[in-house]
Amino acid sequence: MIRPSIADYERQGRVFVVAEVAQAHDGSLGILHSFIDACAQAKVDAVKFQIHIAEAESSAQEPFRVRFSEVDATRYDYWNRMGFSETQWQQIKRHCEEAGVEFLATPFSNAAVDLLERLGVVRYKVGSGDITNDLLLERIGRTGKEAILSTGLGTIEEIGRAVDRLRPRGVAVLQCTTRYPTAAEDVGLPAIAGMRERFGCPTGLSDHSGKIFAGIAAVACGASVVEAHVTFDRRMFGPDAKASLTVDEFGELVEGIRFVEKARSGSLEKHLTPELDTLRTTFGRSLALNRDLPAGHVLAFEDLEGKKPAGQGLPPRDLDKVIGRGLVRAKAKWDFLRDEDLK
């Protein structure tokens, strides 16, 4: 199946919605496959995984970001436990395709890119920790495939360098705050438009707030990509659970994003349908007199009221044409004022 680029999504007014499983499976192939089905039911566009090949990516010296595991003595041990065989990854990718979602992955080594190339991925996700890893960026660039770049650990200059390296193959840049969970004031929605203007490419949000609000608001700010972590329950084991959306919340997120997609379409022009013309008559006004007035009375502002519906008398927009004209006949209080009543 040929899938559109992020730029194609943007031209179509659509948002590419990514549910990131990451390490939420905790090394269980069965749990991982359960996530694919649950995310597909939430109607996401892609389910994202992380490809960790411990011997290529890590060493015994790598520290834990957060010491959460009682099972793994080192970070290397953890990555090793999170890995799957190539055959298993083939089965995972096939399951995604059968479920109607894109298999998307973040490689954390050149060996992981080699694996993903053998699997035949559509595009790549680059984690913010590798934004200055020119070796990995070059390897991804040489695949000729599009990349989605998270930016949480990069300066604006480093982001620019990475974008320039990846741009010839297509790149989208995601505002990202590397705090788990991210407080509302740290989400950084203005950066979505700011980076689009600066780098001239599609932009979006990689969210770690654990709430649906940031992703929906990001679309109103022009995001073309929204990514968030997914879990079955925020009480689950793992480093990302507290900053994740549950699968049910992901369904609400997608529903909100699709609503805002439609709400942000259209133009500044106002075109009234026949239905709206009827409502304009119903809610519109006609000029009327607010007291009994004799023939010959010269109308003043204080003599007039606007009464529903429209079409029973002169419209209020004719106010300036009415004031100062005399009545040709006596009119009772609350009578509509018509053109034939005026000199």
* Cis, peptide link before residue 63, omega less than 30° from 0: no
Specify the fold of 274-341.
Answer: Type Iii Antifreeze Protein Isoform Hplc 12 (3.90.1210)
Averaged confidence pLDDT in the chain: 94
The single residue listed with the structure tokens 């070059």 is 138
* pTM of the model as a whole: 0.85
**pLDDT of res. 69:** 65
> If you ran DSSP here, which 8-state letter would residue 211 be given?
S
pLDDT digit string (tens) for 219-235? 999 999 999 999 999 99
Percentage of the chain with pLDDT > 90?
83
> How many CB atoms are closer than 10 A to CB 229?
27
pLDDT higher at 334 or 74: 334
For CATH 3.90.1210.10, the residue range(s) in the chain are 274-341
State the architecture of 6-263 in CATH terms: Alpha-Beta Barrel (3.20)
**pLDDT of res. 134:** 97
**pLDDT of res. 1:** 62
pLDDT digit string (tens) for 47-64? 999 999 989 988 877 776
Can you name the residues that pair with 50 across neighbouring β-strands? Answer: 106
What's the pLDDT band for 66 if we cut at 50, 70, 90? low
pLDDT digit string (tens) for 81-137? 889 999 999 999 999 999 999 999 999 999 999 999 999 999 999 999 999 999 999
CB proximity list for 77: less than 8 A, separation 6 or greater: 54
Pairing outcome for strands 171-176 and 203-207: parallel
For CATH 3.20.20.70, the residue range(s) in the chain are 6-263
79: pLDDT strictly greater than 90: no
CB distance 122 to 96 below 8 Å: no
* Cis, peptide link before residue 181, omega less than 30° from 0: yes
Q: What burial class does residue 65 get, using C-beta atoms within 10 Å of its C-beta: 0-12 exposed, 13-18 middle, 19+ buried? A: exposed
